Amino acid sequence: MSQLPSNPKPLSSRQAGALRGTVCVPGDKSISHRALILGALAEGRTEIAGLLESEDILCTARALQALGADIQKQSGHWIVTGAGLGGLIEPASPLDFGNSGTGARLMMGVVAGHPLRAVFTGDESLKKRPMGRVLDPLRQMGLQIAEEGQSKLPLTLIGTSSLVPMEYRLPVPSAQVKSAVLLAGLLAQGRTSVIESEKTRDHTEKMLAYFGAGVCSEAVEGGTRISVEGRGTLHGKPVTVPGDPSSAAFLAAAAILCPGSDVLVRNVLINPTRAGFYQTLREMGANIAFENERELNGEPVADLRARAGSLKGVHVPAARAPSMIDEYPILAALAAFARGPTFMDGLAELRVKESDRLAVMVAGLKACGVNAEASGDTLSVTGAGSVPGGAVIATHMDHRIAMSFLVLGLAAEAPVTVDDASMIATSFPEFQGLMETLGASFEDGARG
Ligand code: S3P
């Protein structure tokens, strides 16, 4: 049964003509969380331009404020006046991370290194997600959990000013776990290292270096070791957040599917640890290009041009999963329109995202008349060039499921309704408005 917030907002999409125009997507969600967090741990002022102002990010900002950081919006920029490493204080009320796994998990690493008690909570989706993957290494460093043996929110964390550094090998390819351990490592006496066998997004280590932390990455047997020196000083810095490639993916997909479309999305992050979706699109034969490639704050960005065209089914290897982990729902929607089967391997992590994305995508695609199946950690979708549509989709409080099916509805034969579009505000509040600017239209409420 679909779990919905008290005020669900059904929304429908139907076949659209050509989408055309030039737009910017809002700031990258991963970089936005990290800019606020490192700004709060730094000494001095961090001025952030282009911060994503979505629910997930606002939850992180509010949590940091409750912990004593000064965060304000001034003339369109966010100004963080840091408390300095170890300078956060005990919050008076629970820290509510809403729908955000990234916010909750990264902040567990921060709280671990402060001598304070904080209750972590979130919405019904976040309360079901596994926190043990972050709490296990943090416990080994010295964090205590009041609810012994529990690993789901709400939880009371008891941090310490005497964290012990460690070397930790990631049991799952997760940038959130890596980042939580590195953030805790900032507050431990000595060097903390994380070894990852598959490369995950590297924004934490890049931004740590930019803020002046002693951080290094080196190749080791079976992967990469990322190390941080504890108890240094972070210095506040100006940060400009590039456009989110995971949000741009929905606009690119819509342009590919709607005949006659030609869309330019400016200023999109194309960091290789995030760009697997775009590589897969090229392999599927999509008309997609990175134009005007350049650097912004040490991150590669480009203008992304997507034009309508036909797609062929492909085999997406498991090794690519970390670099496109959030893009499988929209890739599965695209695969439904391709000619031939698409196999996506290595997707175990999709079961523990905002929803069980393997099960939820299969159910939604089947409801739309598409041949889709999850077997083990492989998702297969067999496209036939067109999609019947005409279904109401259970989104299970998952923003990316909602956006994926709204895009699918733009090209399906009959309208598609998502049972709740309100969760889109967690990552991409401008989604509907930007799509309408390009020529798409949506209708509130369920359609028959
Ligand atoms: C994120 C890492 C990914 C991703 C999430 C954002 C991050 O999660 O799915 O949307 O900012 O570190 P995992 O690290 O758990 O795979």
233 and 372 assigned to the same domain: no
Residue with token string 């990552």: 427
Of 380, 383, 405, 382, the closest CA to residue 310 belongs to 383
Tell whether 1 is covered by a domain: no
CB atoms within 10 A of CB 60: 27
161 and 206 assigned to the same domain: yes
State how many domains the chain has: 2
258 and 202 assigned to the same domain: no
Domain final residue pick, 192, 224, 239: 239
Which CATH number covers residue 257?
3.65.10.10
Nearest Cα residue to atom 10 of ligand 1: 326
232 and 312 assigned to the same domain: no
**Containing structural domain, residue 380:** 11-27+242-444
Do the beta carbons of residue 286 and residue 249 sit within 8 Å?
no
16 and 41 assigned to the same domain: no
Tell whether 262 is covered by a domain: yes
Per-residue pLDDT tens listing for the chain (448 residues):
345 566 899 999 999 899 999 999 999 999 999 999 999 999 999 999 999 999 999 999 999 999 999 999 999 999 999 999 999 999 999 999 999 999 999 999 999 999 999 999 999 999 999 999 999 999 999 999 999 999 999 999 999 999 999 999 999 999 999 999 999 999 999 999 999 999 999 999 999 999 999 999 999 999 999 999 999 999 999 999 999 999 999 999 999 999 999 999 999 999 999 999 999 999 999 999 999 999 998 899 999 999 999 999 999 999 999 999 999 999 999 999 999 999 999 999 999 999 999 999 999 999 999 999 999 999 999 998 899 999 999 999 999 999 999 999 999 999 999 999 999 999 999 999 999 999 999 999 854 4
The atom number, within ligand 1, closest to the CA of 29 reads 11
**What does the alpha-carbon distance between residue 51 and residue 398 come to, in Å, rounded to a whole number?**
22
**What does the alpha-carbon distance between residue 233 and residue 43 come to, in Å, rounded to a whole number?**
7
The atom number, within ligand 1, closest to the CA of 30 reads 11
230 and 267 assigned to the same domain: no
232 and 252 assigned to the same domain: no
Which residues are tagged catalytic?
326
Domain final residue pick, 208, 239, 270: 239
Give the residues surrounding ligand 1 with Cβ less than 6 Å away: 30, 102, 174-176, 179, 200-201, 325-326, 349
192 and 258 assigned to the same domain: no
